[in-house]
A and B are shown apart, each in its own frame.
Chain A
């Protein structure tokens, strides 16, 4: 075995330096040079330069005057971007049904008149707990409520939603989706 140890050690050291040091450093250098914004987390900043979020990472909203995002199962509070994760509740778990019922009740309490069927993504927790998007259907479900509370015409609000909707990439990849954080940030301008 000893005769194998020497070449194994040398090879391991060399390959570690290549794949564990040179490679990540090279990628970091090139990434910071070519794509500095993306490489650092696609951060959103306010006028003073303070970080107010990331384009990629959702935030939690419970104010009825704003669009609500996907429910989040991160601990100890929703949308904890330091500890991503899903609920992992199975489809027949009573805890899942209870959670869904609570979310439906909250939506109904915020908008008692709305009797429309609720889009499924609005009452189910995302995989990462940080999903920045909802489906256009889930945005449409909330338009009347927000228009009423913000005192603007629903049609005007739909234009805002449209503006923050991302199409399928190359027309067919992924799903059409609305970025909740950027939409809500735009809405703060409306009083």
Chain B
């Protein structure tokens, strides 16, 4: 690796870890309702806001009420996104006069954005009006992230409360997450992005005259879109000369800021953060990558602060970071080694001071190999799913790591809120396993882990693999599923497995060669996204309700300390064992088979 490449990774991790304590402290103050700069400033506004909405912020909810509020709120959000897409040609701010979105695609997109997956079956610049992007998609970028944070604080509160029947007020947690954390960060970040060259305008797309005209042939169609046939019944082709380039624009920066910060990942443009208007410079790239992990990393400190022992948070952050760095190395090396099939063609794939080299298919020159590999690892470790390079064109091993990171359950940093509550469930499983080994009743943070918690934890851990493997099996057996595959052989299987790993773990990135904007994939994946989001949130809240009602047992001789390197290793092993045992057979049929195939040709 180049010295600059290594330095970019080191600086990235350093800046990220340095931000953990200040942001984590601030978030803890927000959620514990203690005065800090911003919320003191906004206290009047917040009070007015609750008065206006008729919500009493002092009323606490049982876990069932909390879950019901969350489900109703998200169901309404889903309906609104669906309605905006289905009516966009009658609504304002549609300068390109884009037609209504087909129902299966619209439902998929609504499910995708409400579940914080942000899988994109559609292509942004040719499908969604400015109004749909703002009022539907941008809003859900905020609210789905805030929902994740609300569930996390409810769970964390349950650890620190004693004999309590309630776990907090969902409306208040939503409001605080959005107003005091997501909005100010996004506002600041979007302006920095515009400074780097991200577009932010309501003007229609601009036409630019090209230096050199391009021509292409296409089948001639009549006014109704039917192919024109000649006397022999063959289609007639015509040559089209293009003298102008249409530059797609829009209010992109405001959406990109929250798309990165809220681990959403749904791009304004089709090429997502590979598009120069979405991610124009290496600096914008660095900051967008930082934004992906910022809140998930800081949440670990917030958690430690809220349970009154910050070591508990650091140990979880250390476990996440260790797995991330290890897997990152594999991706960088695999991509820098390039494609052996091109070696015999007199192509120069070596790293030099004047070129990045490596596997450059589907990558941008300004990012090169290291930034593309780092992004791919980070975006799938977190459940962000935005891309700055096309994962489908990665080398087999380079593409396997992002896929496996999703399959681990999105707990290596994971989504905003959801990553940490997922990891805390794994921590519960880890203390349970340790408890079995030493023959003691397991406890975590002073709370006894009993049959009910374990049943719920088992449900939480088993749902995503069931969706991923079950969905993949159905898709590769069904003709409608096979029809979408672009690449032949093992790689084609990887495309399908990647899609279901992404939807079944709420990531949203894709091996984008798969034509997934079909009724089959739109309905299948929408179902996966909703079940893996809300099917996990409800049992997490059930655990929170059960834990909150328990007393806190004092630390005794038989207590397994959970702030030690030993526990960190136990936690890592639990996550990796579940992930490896469940998915290695499937991975062997896709990326591993392709890797062996590729090595063989050479």
Q: Which residue of B lies closest to A123 (CB)?
A: B347
With A20-B139, A83-B270, A172-B8 in contact, is A97–B341 under 8 Å at CB? yes
Q: Are A43 and B206 in contact (CB under 8 A)?
A: yes
Closest residue on chain B to residue A136 by CB atoms:
B354
User: Is B470's beta carbon under 8 Å from chain A?
Assistant: no
B186 within 8 A of A: yes
Determine whether the beta carbon of B245 is less than 8 Å from that of A87. no
Pairwise interchain contact A87-B393, C-beta atoms closer than 8 A: yes
Say yes or no: A27-B191 contact (C-beta < 8 A), given A91-B359, A121-B355.
yes
| Cβ < 8 Å to A, chain B residues 378-408 | 387-390, 392-396
Residues of B199-257 whose CB lies within 8 A of A: 199-203, 205-212, 214-216, 218, 240, 242, 245-249, 251, 253-255, 257
Answer whether A174 and B271 are a contact pair too, CB < 8 Å, given A88-B513, A91-B395. no
Q: Is the CB of B390 within 8 A of A15?
A: no
Q: Please state if A1 and B362 are interface contacts (CB–CB under 8 Å).
A: no
Give the distance in Å from the alpha carbon of A133 to the alpha carbon of B191 in the complex. 25
Task: Look across to chain A and name the residue whose beta carbon is closest to the beta carbon of B601.
Answer: A92
Instruction: Give, as a whole number of angstroms, the nearest-CB distance from A76 to chain B.
Output: 5
Expressed in whole angstroms, the minimum distance between the Cβ of A168 and any Cβ of chain B is 6
Interface core residue of A1, A12, A53 (most chain B CB under 10 Å): A12
- Name the CB-closest residue of B to A134: B365
Q: Answer whether residue B367 sits at the interface, using C-beta atoms and an 8 A cutoff.
A: yes
- In the bound complex, how far is the Cα of B62 from the Cα of A57, in angstroms? 53
Q: Which listed residue (B348, B366, B389, B601) contacts A175, Cβ 8 A? A: B366
CB distance from B106 to the nearest CB of A (A): 17
Q: Beta-carbon contacts of A21-45 to B below 8 Å, as 1s and 0s?
A: 1011011101110110011111110
Distance in angstroms from B213 CB to nearest chain A CB is 9
B506 contacts A by Cβ under 8 Å? no
Closest chain-A Cβ to B171's Cβ sits at a distance in Å of 6
The residue among A1, A4, A86, A188 with the most chain B CB atoms within 10 A of its own CB is A86
Residues of B within 8 A of A135 (CB): 354-356, 365
Q: In the bound complex, do residue A28 and residue B202 qualify as a contact, i.e. CB atoms below 8 Å apart? A: yes
Min CB–CB distance A17 → chain B (angstroms):
9
Q: How far is the CA of A77 from the CA of B214 in the complex (A)?
A: 7
Residue of B362, B365, B389 with most partner-chain A CB within 10 A: B365
C-beta contact mask, B338-366 vs A, less than 8 Å → 1, else 0? 11011001111100111111111111111
B342 touches A173 (CB 8 A): no
Q: Which of B4, B142, B247, B494 contacts A15 (CB 8 A)?
A: B142
Q: A57-B277, A128-B271 are in contact. Are A31 and B491 (CB under 8 A)?
A: no
The interface residues of chain A lying within 8 Å CB-to-CB of B240 are 76-77
A-contact bits for B1-37, CB 8 A (1 contact / 0 none): 0001001100100000000000000000000000000
Q: A11-B55, A19-B142, A59-B210 are in contact. Are A88 and B72 (CB under 8 A)?
A: no
Q: Roughly how many angstroms separate A138 CA and B513 CA in the complex, as a whole number?
A: 27
Are the C-beta atoms of A1 and B72 separated by less than 8 Å? yes
Interface contact A84-B598, CB-CB below 8 Å: no
- Are B195 and A88 closer than 8 Å at their CB atoms? no
In A51-86, which residues have CB < 8 Å from any B CB?
51-57, 59-63, 66, 70, 76-86
Q: Contact: A82 with B348, CB < 8 Å?
A: no
Contacts of B363 in A (CB 8 A): 124, 126-127
Known: A56-B280, A86-B271, A176-B354. A126 touches B365 (CB 8 A): yes
Return the CB mask of A100-113 against B: 1 if under 8 Å, else 0. 11001000000000
Give the contacting residue for A127; candidates B138, B183, B389; CB below 8 A.
B389
Q: Answer whether A20 and B134 are a contact pair too, CB < 8 Å, given A34-B191, A126-B362, A133-B366.
A: yes
User: In this complex, what residue of B is CB-closest to A166?
Assistant: B366
A117 is an interface residue with CB less than 8 A from chain B: yes
Distance of A103 Cα from B529 Cα, bound (Å): 40
A16 touches B135 (CB 8 A): yes
Pairwise interchain contact B594-A100, C-beta atoms closer than 8 A? no
Residue of A nearest to B3 (CB): A172
Per the CB 8 Å criterion, the residue count for chain B at the interface is 137
Is the CB–CB distance between A41 and B199 below 8 Å? yes
Complex alpha-carbon distance, A85 and B359, angstroms: 17
Instruction: Assess whether B393 is in contact with A88, with CB atoms less than 8 Å apart.
Output: yes
Q: Are B276 and A130 in contact (CB under 8 A)?
A: yes
Query: How far apart are B51's CB and chain A's nearest CB, in angstroms?
Result: 11
A24-B53 in contact (CB<8A): no
Taking a contact as CB atoms closer than 8 A, the residue among B341, B347, B357 that contacts A91 in the complex is B341
Contact, CB under 8 Å: B282 / A138:
no
Most buried by A among B72, B136, B171: B72
B337 CB to nearest chain A CB (Å) = 11
- In the assembled complex, the Cα of A10 lies from the Cα of B44 at a distance in Å of 19
B-side contacts of A134, CB under 8 Å: 365
Asked if A15 meets B393 with Cβ closer than 8 Å, knowing A23-B138, A100-B347, the reply is: no
Closest to A92 in B: B598
Interface membership of chain B positions 59-74, coded 1 if the CB is closer than 8 angstroms to chain A and 0 otherwise: 0000000001100110
A7 and B207 form a contact (CB under 8 A)? no
- Residues 134 to 189 of chain A near chain B (Cβ within 8 Å): 134-138, 140, 166, 168-177, 181, 184-185, 188
Instruction: Give Cα A169–Cα B249 distance, bound, in whole angstroms.
Output: 25
Contacts of A16 in B (CB 8 A): 80, 135, 139
Q: Which residues of B contact A66 (CB under 8 A)?
A: 211-212
8 closest A-B pairs by CB: A174-B282, A88-B513, A127-B274, A84-B271, A137-B355, A90-B491, A175-B368, A135-B355
A-B contact pairs, 21 of them (CB 8 A): A12-B73, A18-B178, A18-B183, A19-B139, A23-B187, A41-B247, A44-B208, A51-B206, A52-B209, A76-B216, A79-B214, A81-B208, A82-B246, A87-B362, A124-B361, A127-B274, A131-B276, A166-B366, A174-B368, A175-B365, A184-B211
